[in-house]
Amino acid sequence: MLAWACAATRNEVNTPQATKTNDQYPPVIEAGAIRQRAAEEAWRKMLAEFRMPETRPDLEPVLFTPRALPASLAGQINLNPQAGKFGADEAKTALRKFIEHNHAVLTGDERAGVLSLKDLSLVSFSDEGNMYRALYRQMNYPFPLAGNYGELSFALGKTGALLQMSSRLISPLLLSTELPARAKVEAQKVADALVGREFTYTSIAGRPLTYKVSQREEVKVRELVIYPKMEKDQLAIYLAWQVEVGRGTTWMVYVDAMTGKEIEVRQNFAS
């Protein structure tokens, strides 16, 4: 089980670029009763089309996308109504049709054109004996989405029955303002600032330990990503540098590319 890393203080890159941005950054997605009702109505409409009994959806907070398929519906929704051959090609075709027809359910946004297949990439499709698993990744942002956001996953039985479904897609139209197109804080400055950084963690035996970054070679700036973070009743969308820190024992540090502040720290090991 992955654990969150702890630190006594948050670091900030001390550079001229690390200045306060305007009040519109980071863009946010607000939780709202109107959007939630619209998402629930789209869900009810989908169930009605498959002649399923009304079932309360399990929704992601703020996004109002399906977090999981309710257990009572697993295996009840058939994506192969003709009961014909349902090999891998047929399963992929059925999923494409399902995604196109149910974009309002999968994105939590009822507006037309908010999602199309060109916005998704099928990154994995596997035959696991009695089922198929498919994972799609959202591609309509300028940088990769981090933290399992932007993912859409399905499990289908070999007869076409929908077994599992989850969506963490983020409609760009829901953002309160546009994301920045480029970083203000340079990657080199971010890396240099992490030298000397201390991380505290717990051993498997429960003993507190400390790791200090002593050399620049222990810091590797990976890439710019879009980092969504839940903050109270809204989802903040940051442009961030993804930085791997450590040697052997490593952490992934997400640093705001506009301000230089740390957004999140995650362990790459179990403790």
Compute the distance between CA of residue 241 and CA of residue 227 in angstroms, rounded to an integer: 9
Q: What's the domain count of the chain?
A: 2
pLDDT at 141: 95
| Concatenated DSSP letters of 184-217 | SS-HHHHHHHTTT-EEEEE-TTS-EEEEE--SGG
For residues 20 and 35, state if they share a domain: no
pLDDT the model gives residue 180: 95
Say yes or no: 170 and 75 in one domain: yes
Does 89 share its domain with 161?
yes
pLDDT of residue 23: 65
* Mean pLDDT per 10-residue segment, the chain (271 residues): 35 40 82 95 97 97 97 96 88 96 94 87 96 97 95 97 98 94 96 95 88 95 97 95 94 97 93 74
pLDDT of residue 82: 80
Angle at 37 between CA 34 and CA 43, to 5 degrees: 145
- Planar angle of CA 237, 242, 244, nearest 5 degrees: 150
Predicted pLDDT of residue 41: 97
> Which two structure tokens, joined as six digits, stand for 172?
């760009």
183: containing domain: 2-25+178-270
Q: What is the pLDDT of residue 12?
A: 43
Token pair in block for residue 45: 């409409």
Among residues 116, 142, 174, the one where a domain terminates is 174
Do 146 and 63 fall into the same domain?
yes
Close Cβ partners of 221 (under 8 Å, ≥ 6 residues apart): 187, 188, 190, 191, 241, 242, 243
Domain end call among 174, 202, 234: 174
Same domain for 17 and 97?
no
Q: Which of residues 156, 174, 192 is at a domain's end?
A: 174
Same domain for 186 and 145, yes or no, is: no
Helix (H, G, I), strand (E, B) or coil at 85: coil
Q: What is the pTM of this model?
A: 0.85
